[in-house]
Structure 1
Amino acid sequence: MKALVTGFEPFAEHPHNPSQAVLALLPERVGGLELVRATLPVDTERVRPILKGLYREHQPAVALHLGLAAGRPLVCLERLAVNLLEFDLPDNGGHLLQGTPVLPEGPLALLTRLPLRAIQARWKEAGIPSTVSNSAGLYLCNQVMYLALAWLPPGVPAGFIHLPPDETLALARPQAYVPLKTQAQAVVLALEEVQKSIPPGP
């Protein structure tokens, strides 16, 4: 079984994105899951075909998407994605969407398929600060989460984790942060819990 784990390239005033950097710290496998890692563009038009191509090529049994929440000091599990894009700054392609649906015919919101409480309990045991968030924002993170939940089969666990600043961003601008190694540990523990939630094959 393959687990697709994605992060985003740097964007806006951030020269470094922990969601991209953390991919290099992940193992090749987590339990029975073979990890496929990919960096997505922060471009609302380019990300759609790239994401669809990753799903088509790898047919993942799990999709875990990561992004940076620069203003949040904790690792955040996202509960839902909404069918709306409302950018407060242009993406890397210069697009500034306002009141645009992710999918015009899609439902208003889609719930994560990750076992949120089980993941958060594992993080608590490991001493990793975390929270469950009810808003993935209205930018590219929300777009990718919504597309994952809309495009992947209902039985595929899929969801989104927002990562806080790491030590590299904190050096550039002093702020609360979680070390990148700890963020990688959080991702691995999340994947372990997700694997437990997958029904055994025939």
Structure 2
Amino acid sequence: MPTVLLTGFEPFDTDPVNPSWEAVRQLDGMKFGDHVKIVARQLPCAFSTVGQCLAQMLDELHPAMVIATGLGPGRSDICVERVAINVNDARIPDNLGEQPVDTAVAVGGPAAYFSTLPIKAMVKAMREAGIAASVSQTAGTFVCNQLFYLLQHALAGTAVRSGFIHVPYLPEQGVAYGKPSMALAAQVEGLRVAVCAAWETELDAVEVGGQVS
């Protein structure tokens, strides 16, 4: 049975929960399409260990598709990322207290990797389902971007499509920080729709998804 690996992060900074994990864990074991199964796994928010954990999951599961997710503080919708860059530049320490500044994710690696998912089709499908979504041009420079880069690096040259999605705060977090948020049920449904669209779409949609600045 083909497997889609869907990952979320553990809580970080001072938050007791991470919406990315709270959402993907609800999709664990879900089957769709031609007997495709979602397997949800949690990853550590730590520069020095996330890559090893990802590699172990890839070796164990041999997934047919991988979609990683993370929290995007301040984002108002579900953001499908376009590109990962070969830079770590942490504004805050990670969960192990490490704070790399201006270091390479992979020494000697390409400057960037693009998502191999049909990002425009995924956004279109979520919007048609009534879920706020958009294409994002930056995954930041924290552990989310590092994971996205390492994921694309590990699967480069294979037939396994992969990419990254950022989700907003949950409503209670949004109230606490004065930031945009999205209900957990909407995040779960948005990710479900995005995964199905990614699996079912061979050629990406031609949709406007760029930004002026």
Q: Tell whether the structures are fold-level matches, with TM greater than 0.5.
A: yes
Residue 74 of structure 1 and its aligned partner are, at CA, apart by 1.1
Percent identity reads 33
Taking the aligned partners of 1:160 and 1:124, their CA distance within structure 2 comes to 18
Taking the aligned partners of 1:182 and 1:50, their CA distance within structure 2 comes to 28
Is residue 166–residue 180 contact of structure 1 (8 Å, CA) maintained in 2? yes
Taking the aligned partners of 1:97 and 1:177, their CA distance within structure 2 comes to 28
Alignment of 1:54-69 (within 5 A): 54-69=57-72
2:207 maps to what in 1? none
RMSD: 1.5
Q: Indicate yes or no: 2:10 matched with 1:9.
A: yes
2:180 maps to what in 1? 176
Is residue 169–residue 181 contact of structure 2 (8 Å, CA) maintained in 1? yes
Is residue 28–residue 40 contact of structure 2 (8 Å, CA) maintained in 1? no
TM-score with structure 2 setting the length: 0.89
Q: Which amino acid aligns with 2:74?
A: G
Residue 24 of structure 1 and its aligned partner are, at CA, apart by 2.7
Taking the aligned partners of 1:116 and 1:69, their CA distance within structure 2 comes to 17
For 1:134-156, what per-residue CA distance to the aligned partner results, in whole angstroms no more than 9, with x for missing partners?
10000100011111111025311
Alignment of 1:105-144 (within 5 A): 105-144=108-147
Taking the aligned partners of 2:170 and 2:70, their CA distance within structure 1 comes to 12
Q: Which amino acid aligns with 2:136?
A: S
SS of residue in 1 equivalent to 2:101: coil
Q: Indicate yes or no: 2:21 matched with 1:20.
A: yes
Taking the aligned partners of 1:135 and 1:64, their CA distance within structure 2 comes to 16
Is residue 30–residue 191 contact of structure 1 (8 Å, CA) maintained in 2? no
1:30 maps to what in 2? 32
Residue 48 of structure 1 and its aligned partner are, at CA, apart by 1.3
Give the unaligned 5+ runs of structure 2: 204-213
Taking the aligned partners of 1:46 and 1:133, their CA distance within structure 2 comes to 26
Is residue 2–residue 36 contact of structure 1 (8 Å, CA) maintained in 2? yes
TM-score with structure 1 setting the length: 0.93
Give the unaligned 5+ runs of structure 1: none
2:210 maps to what in 1? none
Is residue 43–residue 140 contact of structure 1 (8 Å, CA) maintained in 2? yes
Is residue 28–residue 39 contact of structure 2 (8 Å, CA) maintained in 1? no
Q: Which amino acid aligns with 2:144?
A: C
Is residue 121–residue 201 contact of structure 2 (8 Å, CA) maintained in 1? no
Is residue 25–residue 181 contact of structure 1 (8 Å, CA) maintained in 2? no
Q: Indicate yes or no: 2:73 matched with 1:70.
A: yes
Residue 71 of structure 1 and its aligned partner are, at CA, apart by 1.1
Residue 174 of structure 1 and its aligned partner are, at CA, apart by 4.3
For 1:42-92, what per-residue CA distance to the aligned partner results, in whole angstroms no more than 9, with x for missing partners?
111111111100001111101000000111111101000000100010000
